């Protein structure tokens, strides 16, 4: 992507923590779905599974705990954060695999609050306790020095945090359910929509209302249209369906996300070219890619990669 590239992003290479902006800062720490990838052909886009860092000014949110959360945890520990809000889309393995290696949990006095919305109001505790225990894992999360707090809610509710920040949520069509999140801050809006399956008849009206007018929609684009035909009911979507959703909803741009683990850099380059032509300003998310949805008065629309 060139500095003046089709996505409208300036190649400054900044970290939101180093250059705080008054808008919404986003950093992708893991962009793959299903399982991690260690392959030279996927080096530029990255091989870690789902994790996205969102900063609203100085307030930090983490979405999903795939293997990408490991690198983020090291960054948060370096910055000295005593508290982390972790918002889970759902609890499939690729979205929780990095949790037991999240650096803040290795420090006494630090707390991670895990929010889970797809279990009908129940928390994630029981499921995570089953995952991170013998014979599946050598230790329990409760054995780590840091503290974990669990919050259960029903997808569709609006979450209100101690700072007063509100985050809207929406239930997604995925086996076992999943939750989308919407951040509205300083005149900008960001939506995280993964994992989701699109209706065959066109965009879901409820989801379209949820992402309406968003500046950026991070969207599950696991399959090509040809691949999707053999994976109906698996709970994933295509970039074409994401574009259709954005156009119906008046959302400005789409970040293709949750890449198929067998999709190499060259294939993702080709998808990005088509995607940017179909919905200018859109792009394929890369690991450690950073951008800011800047406030209208002070900055261009999006800065930083």
The pLDDT tens digits for 170-203 are 999 899 999 999 999 999 999 999 989 998 888 9
50-101 tens-digit pLDDT: 999 999 988 999 999 999 999 999 999 999 999 999 999 999 999 999 999 9
Please calculate the CA angle 136-40-89 and round it to the nearest 5 degrees.
Answer: 45
Cα–Cα dist 265/186, whole Å: 34
Helix/strand/coil for 39: coil
Which band of pLDDT confidence, cut at 50, 70 and 90, is reported for residue 228?
confident
Q: Is 57 left (phi over 0), alpha (psi -120 to 50) or beta?
A: left
Please say whether the beta carbons of 162 and 121 come within 8 A. Answer: no
Q: Distance between CA atoms of 243 and 69, rounded to whole angstroms? A: 27
170 vs 206: CA distance, rounded Å: 8
CATH of domain 24-303: 3.60.15.10
Q: How confident is the model at residue 233 (pLDDT cuts 50, 70, 90)?
A: confident
Average pLDDT over every residue of 221-239: 90
225 pLDDT tier (thresholds 50, 70, 90): confident
Tens digit of each residue's pLDDT (9 = 90 or more) over 97-139: 999 999 999 999 999 999 999 999 999 999 999 999 999 999 9
**Residue showing tokens 């052909």:** 41
Residues 6+ apart with CB under 8 A from 30: 46, 48, 49, 50, 51, 52, 64, 66, 67, 68, 69, 98, 287
Is the pLDDT at 304 greater than 60? The verdict is: no
pLDDT at 261 over 70: yes
| CA 109 from centroid of its chain's CA atoms | 27
């Amino acid at each position: 992507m060139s500095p003046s590239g089709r996505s409208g992003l300036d190649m400054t290479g900044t970290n939101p923590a180093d250059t705080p902006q008054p808008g919404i800062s986003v950093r992708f720490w893991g962009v793959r779905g299903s399982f991690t990838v260690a392959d030279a052909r996927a080096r530029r886009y990255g091989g870690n599974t789902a994790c996205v860092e969102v900063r609203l000014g100085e307030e930090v949110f983490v979405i999903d705990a795939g293997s990408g959360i490991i690198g983020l945890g090291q960054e948060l520990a370096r910055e000295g954060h005593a508290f982390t809000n972790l918002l889970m889309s759902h609890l499939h393995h690729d979205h929780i695999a990095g949790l037991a290696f999240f650096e803040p949990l290795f420090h006494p006095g630090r707390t991670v609050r895990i929010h889970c919305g797809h279990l009908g109001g129940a928390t994630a505790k029981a499921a995570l306790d089953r995952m991170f225990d013998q014979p599946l894992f050598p230790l329990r999360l409760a054995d780590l020095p840091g503290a974990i707090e669990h919050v259960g809610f029903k997808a569709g509710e609006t979450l209100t945090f101690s700072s007063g920040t509100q985050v809207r949520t929406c239930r997604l069509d995925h086996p076992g359910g999943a939750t989308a999140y919407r951040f509205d801050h300083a005149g900008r809006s960001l939506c995280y929509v993964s994992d989701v399956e699109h209706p065959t008849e066109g965009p879901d009206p409820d989801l379209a209302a949820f992402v309406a007018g968003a500046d950026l929609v991070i969207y599950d684009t696991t399959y090509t249209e040809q691949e999707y035909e053999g994976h109906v009911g698996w709970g994933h979507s295509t970039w074409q369906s994401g574009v259709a959703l954005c156009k119906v909803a008046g959302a400005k741009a789409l970040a293709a996300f949750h890449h198929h683990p067998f999709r190499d850099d060259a294939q993702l380059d080709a998808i990005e070219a088509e995607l940017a032509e179909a919905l200018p300003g859109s792009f394929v998310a890369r690991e450690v890619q950073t951008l800011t949805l800047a406030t209208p008065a002070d900055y261009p629309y999006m800065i930083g990669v």
